[in-house]
Chain A
Amino acid sequence: MFNIERWQEIFETLSKNKLRTFLTGLSVASGIFILVILLGFGEGMANGIKKEFEDDASNRIHVWTEVTSKEYKGLNPGRYIQMENENYEYLAKKYEDDLEYKSAIYRIWQGAVNYKTESGSYRIEGVLPDFQFIENAGITQGRFVNYMDQDGFEKVVVIGNKVKQEIFKNEEDPIDQQIQINGINFKVIGVYTDPGGDREESRIFTPISTAQRVFNGANRIRNLSFTLKPKATFDETLEASEQFVEEMQQYLKQVHTIAPDDMSAIGTFNTLEASQRYFGLIGNIKFFFWFVGICTIIAGVVGVSNIMLIIVKERTREIGIRKAIGAQPWSIIGMILHEAIFVTAIAGFTGLIVSMGLLEIFGPYLEIPYVINPSVNFNVALSTVIILILAGAIAGFFPAWRAVKIKPIEALRDE
């Protein structure tokens, strides 16, 4: 390995056979290049899907109601189910130890909002203080609603970033300004951002007590939203959340006189259950890219073996000459392997650096749906280069061994 004479001999051979060296290198470099780009995109897709789940807390349980679909205890199907404050209070109390965040929601779908000359129509949501965490909302100015607002029926609002841009034109500080919703004055106490983007940021939050009183909601609520305290493992958490959903449904069906087998009256969405599916999907995507990647590597190995086979065959006569003038068999095998390893290593690392460089430089700017910041684990990429080098060496060894076994007299025979 560290024999200068050998290195000189190899550099000479490689530089005097430029085309052969270049083609071998190209096939190795492009194999690595394709693999890294593929794995990078697999990672990017996984990132993209994960992002979809960031807008809400990932263990959120959301409840809504619809009309009944079955006749029960003399009540006709088609009856609209309306949840009320005591439903929320019962559940909040009963599951106090299990719940992490909890909120009831009363909603005005289209609230007419006015500020000075500006106006717009936004969803108004009456919520409880915990709702900030259920929504994954970040406060950029002021604060979110708190229990003092709730208990005092305060007419205060937390507006979305988008609302702020549209109504306040970004010019003024909206905090402590008065806006009118359906003609009633509210004081802005905070601005929030939401990873869900514009759609999620064009809402206005106010205490649910205020919303019910001001917008004639009485004690009606539209939704329940909960998150459960996480357990030790994902599976335990999932199991607990499924059980909670089951018990909650039973309770709601019972108090609202709904047939136990009526599947449509109470709607629930368990993010955890959905995310379990999505994590499965991410796993599948990664598996797919790995599969394609490994196929690429295999193709690369086959390619390198082929090239080695051709190179050795092409050099049979040269090997015969070298042996006739006194080359030891192992020195010839060593020379061929040394060349092969040197070329695949240089080419492999070139492919690695170029592809990782491309991902590093252009990855963050890439705008493809569901692909975010494609990148690749350096160790993984490095291992594949090493695998390819080893494969090239092994692939080169056998033809070299065979060529050396040929008697010089046969290698030198004129065709």
Chain B
Amino acid sequence: MIQIKDLHKSYHMGSNSLHVLKGINFDVKEGELVSIMGSSGSGKSTLLNILGMLDEADQGQYILDNVPIKNLNEKIAAKYRNEFLGFIFQSFNLINYKSALDNVAMPLYYKGVKRKERNDTAMHYLEKVGLADWSHHLPSELSGGQKQRVAIARALASDPKVLMADEPTGALDTKTSYEVMELIQGINDEGKTILVVTHEHDIAQMTKRIVNLKDGLIIDDKKVQQVRASEYV
């Protein structure tokens, strides 16, 4: 599903430049649930943003679902993001003046889906994350865990190939974090490929594979015995 070879990324600030990713090689197959770990500043988010086409690499090869991702212009990047990817952020990033339902329906609007169908699909995913009753509430009326579940529903709405989650549980307490992980495991069980950035070991143990980053390189990449979040809930 994802193949990257020798990926480099530097940030330039005035005369300083910071080499963040120093040659990452990394494959993800369809249906995997991978966690990316590492200390703060190791480049986890940078890597995920490049994979998510929110940012561009300086050098290296990236193939997503057999499509080489390079020389992206804004238009094509937007199209690929809409078709291939779903994002889940630490700070939820819901549009605050739109109801849960409208937030979930947003990717479908940009996909050109008609309103009626959009709302039906959005409702279906809200049911899936257990928030059918909250569909007309604004984000400000929802708890952190509920917001993240709305965000997950939104990421799923356009039926993307890969879900990318950057510290999806970073802003949540332990119990809520496990609920969110249970949801993510359920989605993975249905076959969706998911990448999760985290620095919490218990969260990483709930995935099927842990990739460890340090100073811009992968120092460890191992399969793990998945811990089911439902055991804790």
Contacts and interface: CB of A to CB of B under 8 A. Distances in A.
Interface of A: 5, 8-9, 12-13, 16-17, 317-318, 320-329, 331, 404, 407-409, 412, 414
Given A326-B158, A329-B75, A321 B95 contact: yes
Contacts of A321: 93-95
Contacts of A414: 90-91
Interface in B83-124: 83, 87, 89-91, 93-95, 97-98, 102, 106-107, 109-111, 114-115
Given A323-B78, A324-B87, A325-B81, 18 more contacts: A5-B114, A5-B115, A16-B97, A321-B94, A322-B95, A322-B110, A324-B52, A325-B87, A326-B79, A326-B107, A327-B82, A327-B110, A328-B79, A328-B110, A329-B74, A409-B49, A409-B55, A414-B90
Contact of A324 (B79, B93, B115): B93
Give the secondary structure class of A's interface: helix
A147 to B, nearest CB: 86
Nearest to A328: B78
A96 B111 CA distance: 88
Contact of A326 (B83, B89, B94): B83
Nearest to A13: B97
A328 B75 contact: yes
26 contacts: A8-B115, A9-B109, A12-B98, A12-B102, A17-B97, A317-B93, A320-B93, A321-B93, A321-B94, A321-B95, A322-B95, A322-B106, A324-B93, A325-B81, A325-B110, A328-B74, A328-B75, A328-B78, A328-B79, A328-B110, A329-B74, A331-B110, A404-B74, A409-B54, A412-B89, A414-B90
Nearest to B83: A326
Q: Which 6 A-B pairs have the closest CB atoms?
A: A326-B82, A16-B97, A409-B54, A325-B107, A326-B110, A329-B74
Nearest to A15: B97
B192 interface: no
Contacts of B82: 325-327
Contacts of B97: 13, 16-17
A326 B98 contact: no
Interface string B48-76: 01001011000000000000000000110
Contacts of B83: 326
B12 to A, nearest CB: 14
Nearest to B46: A409
B65 to A, nearest CB: 16
Interface in B145-172: 154, 158
B78 A329 contact: yes
B98 A16 contact: yes
A413 to B, nearest CB: 10
Contacts of B75: 328-329
Nearest to B97: A16
A322 B106 CA distance: 8
Contacts of A323: 78, 81
A326 B81 CA distance: 5
Contacts of B110: 322, 325-328, 331
Nearest to B79: A326
A123 B158 CA distance: 96
Contacts of A317: 93
A5 B54 CA distance: 26
Nearest to B113: A5
Given A12-B102, A317-B93, A326 B111 contact: yes
A384 B166 CA distance: 50
Contacts of A407: 54-55
Contact of B78 (A12, A13, A326, A409): A326
A257 B186 CA distance: 122
A53 to B, nearest CB: 60
Contacts of A409: 49, 54-55
Nearest to A17: B97
Contacts of A5: 109, 114-115
Nearest to B84: A326
A318 B102 CA distance: 14
Contacts of B115: 5, 8
Contacts of B81: 323-326
